[in-house]
């Protein structure tokens, strides 16, 4: 069996009743060991060794995306992002677009394509509905992300009036993360409600809208790999 033939499968030992109860109580849940070990290891390999990372950040309401940047340009873009962050929402990190509104971009040999297809199956939608109690019927987007030292994503709530986002997800694929490296997913109301540290093979689900952020990865931190996006109410409404 080739590496691309490794099946993308849910861990069959998940306690779905307990997971659903956790989501019902708080509108979010962390699901450890979401995939089988073989699938998780293969996915991490694809993120670490096979993904051509670009860079994404924003200037006001305009999102800027670059397929590649030089180290010098990356440093200049970081410094500009820090300056803008004094007064407005800001994000900057590496990314790779996997799927958007039904279009899957990687070639058939890339394992991230296998992930996007898996997340788009009726069986996985049924799993998300079972855990969240929400009428999820489509995968709105799937983006691989890589937060290296000094990358961050400021507080926002994922609300988009033009899209029926119901559930945000982040599939963390980061082994051996230390708490003092930053890069944690924070949830806010008038205070910090909860914090999820980067993990390996852990799926975070939370109801949209919800104020949250990814704290800046420390200068001495590692590489934070994840795949993130949203599930929506009706995948037939495409722009």
Per-domain residue ranges for the chain? 3-232
CATH class of 3-232: mainly beta
pLDDT along the chain (239 residues), means of 10: 76 98 98 98 97 97 96 97 97 96 84 95 97 96 97 95 89 96 97 96 97 98 98 66
Which positions ≥6 away from 47 have C-beta within 8 Å? 112, 144, 146, 173, 225, 227
**pLDDT given at position 197:** 97
Give the three-class secondary structure for 137.
coil
Helices of type H across 58-161: 71-84, 111-119, 122-132
Which positions ≥6 away from 86 have C-beta within 8 Å? none
φ, ψ of residue 231 to 5 degrees: the values are: -100, 145
- Stated as kind and residue range, the H or E segment containing 41 is helix 37-49
């Amino acid at each position: 069996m080739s590496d691309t033939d490794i099946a993308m499968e849910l861990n069959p030992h998940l306690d779905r009743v307990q997971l659903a109860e956790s989501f019902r109580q708080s509108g979010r849940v962390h699901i450890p060991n979401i995939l089988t070990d073989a699938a998780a290891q293969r996915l991490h390999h694809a993120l670490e060794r096979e993904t051509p990372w670009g860079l994404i950040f924003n200037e006001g309401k305009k999102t800027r995306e670059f397929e590649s940047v030089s180290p010098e340009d990356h440093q200049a873009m970081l410094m500009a992002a820090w300056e803008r962050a004094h007064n407005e929402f800001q994000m900057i990190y590496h990314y790779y677009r996997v799927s958007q509104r039904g279009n899957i971009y990687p070639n058939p040999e890339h394992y991230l394509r296998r992930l996007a297809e898996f997340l788009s199956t009726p069986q996985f939608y049924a799993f998300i509905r079972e855990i969240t109690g929400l009428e999820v019927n489509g995968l709105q987007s799937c983006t691989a992300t890589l937060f290296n030292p000094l990358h961050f994503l400021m507080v926002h709530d994922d609300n988009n009036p033009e899209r029926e986002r119901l559930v945000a997800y982040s599939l963390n694929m980061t082994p051996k993360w230390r708490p003092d490296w930053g890069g944690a997913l924070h949830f806010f109301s008038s205070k910090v409600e909860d914090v999820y540290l980067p993990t390996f093979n852990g799926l975070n689900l939370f109801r949209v809208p919800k104020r949250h952020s990814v704290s800046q990865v420390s200068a001495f931190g590692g590489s934070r790999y994840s795949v993130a996006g949203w599930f929506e109410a009706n995948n037939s409404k495409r722009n």
